[in-house]
Chain A
Amino acid sequence: MAGALATTELNRRAAAQPATTGNLFLLLVGLGTALLLFTAFLSAVKTGPLFTEDNLLYAALIFYAAAAALYIGYGVTTGLRLARFATLATALGLIANTLAAGHRWYAAGHPPFSSIYEMLLSFVWTLAALTLFVERRYGVRIIGSVTLPLAMLGVILMQLLPSPVRPLVPALQSTWLHVHVTLAMLAYAACTVSVALALLFLIQDKVRTETFLAATSATLVAIYASISTRFDASGALRVVAWDPGEGREIFIAEKTPLFVMIPGLGWLMFLVLAAALVPLALCVWAQWNREERGLVWANRAFFLGTLLQGLALGAFVMRARQGFYASRQADGVFLTNLAASPFVLSGLAGGLLISLLYLLLFWRREQLEGLLPAAERLDHLTYKTIGIAFPLLTLMIAAGAYWANRTWGSYWSWDPKETWALITWMIYAGYLHMRITRGWRGRRAAYFAILGFAVVMFTFFGVTYLLPGLHAYA
């Protein structure tokens, strides 16, 4: 009884105190959103019809960005009003997103699931919808501060990717493919929500902040090590060349793209990799020697590393956006643009995002803990979302197998994507067995959920980005 009283007291105090800063922040975000919408409206009216796919998507981006800012603001100030407006912005973004998807469906004549662009469109949609669902049904408001920035990132990526409504090659003209991709996006979005909940559980379960620091740094090391596989001996970064006429990457042989070199960027990526290694090493050292100062320096190094990441992302966007660079595989210079490097771009932006989320945790951990539901509830919710994700994963694999069988006469051929989807499935199957039969709860289950999500990410990005690279001997 006393505990409950103390908690409500704490909540009340937390809600009352930062109301003024919260209102100012709300005002700023609201004004910013209105301004962006107004200017976008003006330019849209000038150029032609208002409700085009691009305009709708831009509106969705503005709303999602506002929602992400408000959710994070809610995390910082704990003002409940911010959360309410964040929900509103998410709902508006979702409406614009739905209209954009519907518009594209209508224009293309097939459901929007056939290119990376269209898949992102449905992924973002599912993510926003699930966020609203979890918030409404289970009252976990803060989850938006993880998922909405991701959704925003997805829409930004979409703005950069080429989006012509392209005719479908014969093998892709199948309802089963649409079913397969839809299920994949639903399952992956559910996995994303489950990992967000698992992370929130770990916060609420009093996992130490330096553990989060080490984990974030390790993830950053993985991201930048992957990007550094495209390091060229001259210090350049190799990116795929782009054929603007065809609107796709240039290939010199099957599965062998033509790489161009952006000078200097390779070194920059190496530098960020080193910068991510420093806090990790300091964490390990501090843990080993029980030295508090090590952690202080680790956090300082991490902050600097985050600034460097921002620099790397900026430099990459500036130089890879549009430009002609030399190649080692052929004479002359070739064009590249951001559309040719969706994976590098997602890696850079995703890395920056998780760094910022860590910094939010570092600065505002106590407030965050006040906002979150009890640890047991988050643990239970993680399990429930995996209970949604696992049947979806099963259906997704089955639909893919059925499509492959109708197209190539074989339901399973052990290609890397299939194999990794199966590995994902096996990990979640292991999670469910440990949980249901062995009664695993709490941290071990949360770590398992994170492992599952890491493999999902590898299946989604790594298999396409790293494995062919491993096999390219041009």
Chain B
Amino acid sequence: MDLKVPRTGTWVGSLMTLHLKGWSQQIQRTFSSLRTGIVLLITLGVVSAAGTFVLQRPLTEAEKLERAYAPETLRWLDRLSLTDVFHSWWFALLLAALGLNIILASLERFPVAWAYVQRRYARPDAHFLKGLTLQREIQIPDKETGLAAAERAFRQLRFKPQRVASQNGMSLFAERNRFVRLAAYLVHASLLLIFAGAIADALLGYRGYVALTPNRQTNQIELSNGKTRTLPFVVRCDDAGQENYADGSPRRWWSKLVVLDSGREVLRKEIAVNDPLVFRGVRFYQSGYGSSGDLGALRLRVVPKANPADTREIVLHPDETLALDAENSVRVAAFFPDFVIRDKQVETRSDQPNNPAIQLTVDSKKSGATKVWLFANFPEVNHADESPYRFQLRDLQMGWFTGLQVSHEPGQWAVWIGVVLMIVGLAAAFYFIHARVWAVPISDDRGRLVLWVGASASKNREEFEERFNKLVAEILDGLKAPYGSRGTVSRTSGSHHFLVNAAAALKGRS
């Protein structure tokens, strides 16, 4: 139904023929064909599906893979990269081939579409007129009256009429949404842009993890492939925390981060889940928060054995030595968050403070060092016989760490721009119609002056037909006058060819 536009020949095509012989053209044709594109889509779909059925390497630990598959199977899966489909060379090759297919196909077809958009057919020739499905002839008294009535009707239907002058005289033309003809190219170009962004990220980007404890700073991040990467700046965590719902489940994690560039503080931000810190394209995401397994602080009740009345409370941090009096001082010697004795060895079962045990050292200038054990769950156990002080544990705070995902994706802007363009392109392609209408005063087969009205639409032709009939009715209304019209606007449903039939019927009658 669409118009036949003279093929100008693609410039890529002509360039190719200058240098290469027939077989290369054949290759180009194969690569740019829709069939190749569909085959590539299907292949990509199948291998992607395979990638979801076979356990994938970076996500699953090696142990689990070895348990899941027999050694021989696993060797073959590895050899075919089926355990890491999405990072394999052949998957990249398939994506590249699809990209090439889109580029070649677009280059081949774009000039035709462009020529179509360029040549507006404002003044259609007789051949073009005959080809239109939507057309009607309306008898008019004179050219100007007809054109004026048509102009009013165009405006009524929100078409902006242009007067077009040619050697055959004046005619009217209006169109809407010409860009729709290029929408498909926009969609494909945006897909290429997304590909480009993803390639840039795969080659230049990285993803890693860093865990920070209070007041620590680092420029080292652990990458997902196990390597370490040094950032050109330093990040420090000043504070972090967790807020809970009433039922105890976590509601929010936050960290106060500071970025230091050559020792100078350049950026400070409190980050939370869904709200990262960005510095020079490197993003820090809050991804976890928890107990580090280290001791944070102790609150102790200190009772001097010689003088129990002089009892007081102290706060003791690890790596800190507190003087108790002129002669004695105390410090943390060891900490076990989940104390257990196994094979006569003291150790911790986990990093969780399930059974915290603290070993204090009391240094006395007179009698030397004494060890004191404190157990949070068993306050009555108190081995402090030789020490001049007794200790009671009042409170214990665990040290925490904040887990940060670090990522650098220089291509992501290309991806987001591509996504937006794709949405725009899809909306244009599906929800907008390129519509054109013409009104040309001509003389009909019998030599009478008529206004020829024609229209074409890029899609939704049935619905557009109703609009066209309305347009014709408006023009007839505008003319009303003594001459009236030749056709009554009646909707003969369904058939695309009713106009032809109607015209024939009218001819027979008159």
Contacts and interface: CB of A to CB of B under 8 A. Distances in A.
A471 interface: yes
B51 interface: yes
B253 interface: yes
A169 B274 contact: no
Nearest to B52: A416
Contact of A471 (B48, B55, B249, B286): B55
A414 B86 contact: yes
Contacts of A427: 45
Contact of A437 (B34, B51, B64, B276): B34
A105 interface: no
A419 B48 contact: yes
A64 to B, nearest CB: 30
Contacts of A388: 430
Interface stretch (B21-29, B137-145, B163-171, B407-415): B407-415
Nearest to A424: B45
B38 A433 contact: yes
A467 B416 CA distance: 30
Nearest to A438: B34
Given A167-B249, A398-B419, A433 B34 contact: yes
Contacts of A411: 409, 412, 415
A402 interface: yes
B51 A414 contact: yes
A169 B250 contact: yes
B34 A406 contact: no
Interface residues of B, number: 53
Given A407-B274, A409-B407, A429-B41, A402 B416 contact: yes
Among A169, A390, A427, A436, max chain B CB count under 10 A is at A169
B45 A426 contact: yes
Contact of B422 (A394, A433, A463, A473): A394
B251 interface: yes
A399 to B, nearest CB: 9
Contacts of A407: 273-274, 285
B323 interface: no
Contacts of B55: 471
B245 interface: yes
A395 B283 CA distance: 24
B427 A391 contact: yes
Interface in A402-444: 402, 405-412, 414-416, 419-420, 422-423, 426-427, 429-430, 433-434, 436-438
A406 B276 contact: yes
Contacts of A467: 52-53
A173 interface: yes
B423 interface: yes
A30 interface: no
Interface in B283-302: 283, 285-287
Contacts, number: 108
A416 B184 CA distance: 29
B423 A410 contact: no
B485 interface: no
Contacts of B59: 415
Interface in B425-461: 426-427, 430
A11 interface: no
A171 interface: yes
A387 interface: yes
Contacts of A394: 419, 422-423, 426
B198 interface: yes
Given A167-B249, A409-B207, A426-B45, A473 B67 contact: yes
Nearest to A173: B274
Given A391-B426, A430-B42, A433-B38, A408 B247 contact: no
A112 to B, nearest CB: 18
B68 interface: yes
Contact of A409 (B34, B53, B405, B430): B405
Contacts of A463: 52
B50 to A, nearest CB: 10
B196 to A, nearest CB: 14
A6 interface: no
B49 interface: yes
A341 B242 CA distance: 33
B406 interface: yes
Main secondary structure of the interface of A (DSSP, over half): helix
Given A170-B272, A405-B412, A409-B207, A395 B38 contact: no
A422 B198 CA distance: 15
B274 A433 contact: no
A146 B289 CA distance: 48
B497 interface: no
Given A391-B430, A407-B285, A416-B52, A423 B45 contact: yes
Interface in B37-92: 37-38, 41-42, 44-45, 48-49, 51-53, 55-56, 59-60, 64, 67-68, 85-86
Contacts of B274: 170-171, 173-174, 406-407
Interface in A85-132: none
A470 interface: yes
A401 B197 CA distance: 14
A13 to B, nearest CB: 21
Nearest to B272: A170
B45 A167 contact: no
B52 A420 contact: yes
A241 to B, nearest CB: 21
Contact of B68 (A398, A405, A429, A471): A471
B252 interface: yes
B34 to A, nearest CB: 6
Interface string B170-212: 0000000000000010000000000000100000000100000
Nearest to A434: B38
Interface in B271-329: 272-276, 283, 285-287
Contacts of B41: 426, 429-430
B426 A170 contact: no
Interface in A156-198: 167, 169-171, 173-174
Interface string A430-467: 10011011100000000000000000000000010001
Contacts of A437: 34
Contact of A410 (B85, B207, B273, B416): B207
A458 to B, nearest CB: 9
A408 B34 contact: no
B53 A395 contact: no
Contacts of A174: 274
A388 B429 CA distance: 11
Nearest to A176: B274
A215 B253 CA distance: 51
B250 A409 contact: no
Given A391-B430, A473-B68, A170 B38 contact: no
Contact of A423 (B49, B198, B207, B419): B49
Among A405, A420, A467, max chain B CB count under 10 A is at A405
Contacts of A408: 285, 287, 405
A426 B98 CA distance: 12
A222 B427 CA distance: 36
Nearest to B247: A167
A169 B249 contact: yes
Contacts of B409: 405, 409-411
29 contacts: A167-B249, A170-B272, A170-B273, A173-B252, A173-B274, A394-B422, A395-B423, A398-B419, A405-B409, A407-B285, A408-B287, A409-B207, A409-B405, A410-B409, A411-B409, A414-B56, A414-B85, A414-B86, A415-B59, A420-B49, A423-B48, A426-B41, A426-B44, A429-B41, A430-B38, A430-B41, A433-B38, A436-B184, A467-B53
Please give me the 6 A-B residue pairs with the lowest Cβ-Cβ distance, nearest first. Answer: A409-B407, A170-B273, A416-B52, A414-B86, A167-B245, A391-B426
Given A394-B422, A430-B42, 7 more contacts: A173-B252, A401-B419, A405-B412, A409-B207, A409-B406, A411-B409, A414-B85
